[in-house]
Amino acid sequence: RSAAARGAFDGHGVLADGTEVPLLANVGTPDDARTAAGAGAQGVGLLRTEFCFLGRDQEPSVEEQVEQYTAIFEAFPARKVVVRTLDAGADKPLPFLTDTEEPNPALGVRGYRTDRSVPGVLARQLEAIARAEEATAAQVWVMAPMISAPSEARDFAAMVAAAGLRVPGVMVETPSAAVTADQILQHVDFVSLGTNDLTQYTMAADRMLGSLAELNNPWQPAVLRMVRLTVEGARRAEASGKGPRNVGVCGEAAADPALAVVLVGLGVHTLSMSPRALASVAAVLRSVDLPTAQALAELAVEQHSAEEASAAVRAQLPVLA
Ligand code: PEP
Ligand code: MG
């Protein structure tokens, strides 16, 4: 492994030919945010707001939320912070939002869908995020989890605008969102691929089941093809006259250095990951130029299993040998 892979991240994600790939951090609390800033993260690509309030049986007050979000934004002055609205349900139950008696929680009322079953919580959260943004210098982007239809992106964008926030986006975690990304991006400015859930729903393999790990693997060519469809959708939205449409990845896939190369080769613009993965991802990205990353992405999507895709790409990355 190169010196950079063993050392610290220098705060600049870039390919060998100078193509910028901003490397952001996934965080859940003010402590996490300070750790991420110390590790050199160029911003926050995923703030899992539910982590601030796990185990609570009451909705946090707007004041309490403003305090938490402000502390997080203050760790990244003038940097991008992508705030995800509460993602409750399935693997992350929040008693004030979710019904734990559903027969199929992963396919149930979770993520953005809870705005219908418990109206008001999302609007109050957006108000708190807007107040925290006003109090700090962070560039706040805000996105909804578990989106399945372009109409949901449209409704969310309207709520974001009503709260006075400027940059709406949604997560691509379902195959339906990936295949309608062009329509979704008529309504919102960016998407972030949540490859943990996107893998679970594309492969129809529960992310909580270790026995399905081979299927539940973001190297699966079907998952990579979903990423490609999303990027193509973003390009179509841009071609139709919309402004730049950022496509990020904030699932665990972004923390696997070889897979990070493939994601960039597929056309992903930014990667967000656990702060401890930043240095090793940055080192491998620096070893390839964009045409090489694109060729490796093509190689990966043509394979017939996750294992073959991963092995084929790794064999072509001398820095990982
Ligand atoms: C994902 O699904 O990839 C994601 C980033 O969200 P979470 O892991 O919190 O569901
Ligand atoms: Mg998810």
Q: How far is CA 137 from the centre of its chain?
A: 22
Give the C-alpha separation, 309 to 219, whole Å: 6
**Candidate of 110, 174, 250 to mutate for ligand 1, largest count of ligand atoms within 8 Å of Cβ:** 250
Residue 71 reports pLDDT greater than 70: yes
pLDDT of residue 302: 98
250 tagged catalytic: yes
If pLDDT is split at 50, 70 and 90, which confidence band does 318 have? confident
Output the residue whose Cα is nearest ligand 1's atom 8.
Answer: 196
Give the C-alpha separation, 314 to 106, whole Å: 32
Residue 6 reports pLDDT greater than 80: no
Output the residue whose Cα is nearest ligand 1's atom 1.
Answer: 194
Average pLDDT score over residue span 176-203? 98
Distance (angstroms) between ligand 1 centre and the Cα of 172 equals 10
Average pLDDT score over residue span 92-96? 87
Mean confidence (pLDDT) of the chain: 95
pLDDT > 90: what percent of the chain? 90
pLDDT > 70: what percent of the chain? 98
Residue 4 reports pLDDT greater than 80: no
Residue ranges of alpha helices (H) inside the chain are 3-6, 30-38, 62-74, 114-117, 121-135, 150-162, 175-179, 181-187, 195-203, 221-239, 257-266, 278-285, 290-301, 306-314
pLDDT of residue 192: 98
If pLDDT is split at 50, 70 and 90, which confidence band does 93 have? confident
pLDDT of residue 62: 97
For 118-170, the DSSP string reads STTHHHHHHHHHHHHHHHS--EEEEEESS--SHHHHHHHHHHHHHTT--EEEE
pLDDT of residue 49: 97
Task: Summarize the annotated binding site for phosphoenolpyruvate as residue ranges.
Answer: 48, 84, 196-197, 207
Ligand 1 cavity residues, CB under 6 Å: 46, 48, 87, 173, 194-197, 250-251
pLDDT of residue 1: 47
pLDDT of residue 259: 98
Catalytic residue, chosen from 15, 142, 163, 250, is 250
Distance (angstroms) between ligand 2 centre and the Cα of 90 equals 10
Give the C-alpha separation, 106 to 197, whole Å: 9
Residue 101 reports pLDDT greater than 50: yes
Give the C-alpha separation, 305 to 194, whole Å: 20
If pLDDT is split at 50, 70 and 90, which confidence band does 89 have? confident
At 112-129, the pLDDT tens digits run: 999 999 999 999 999 999
Give the C-alpha separation, 107 to 15, whole Å: 38
Give the C-alpha separation, 274 to 264, whole Å: 18
Distance (angstroms) between ligand 2 centre and the Cα of 304 equals 25
**Which residues line ion ligand 2, judged by CB < 5 Å?**
173, 194, 197
Task: Summarize the annotated binding site as residue ranges.
Answer: 48, 84, 173, 196-197, 207
The two three-digit tokens of residue 257, written as one number? 């250095």
Task: Summarize the annotated binding site for Mg(2+) as residue ranges.
Answer: 173, 197
Give the C-alpha separation, 189 to 181, whole Å: 11
At 250-300, the pLDDT tens digits run: 999 999 999 999 999 999 999 999 999 999 999 999 999 999 999 999 999
If pLDDT is split at 50, 70 and 90, which confidence band does 99 have? confident
- The dihedral over CA atoms of 314, 315, 319, 321, expressed in degrees to the nearest 10, equals 100
Distance (angstroms) between ligand 2 centre and the Cα of 172 equals 9
Contact 75, 30 (CB under 8 A): yes
If pLDDT is split at 50, 70 and 90, which confidence band does 3 have? very low
Average pLDDT score over residue span 137-152? 96
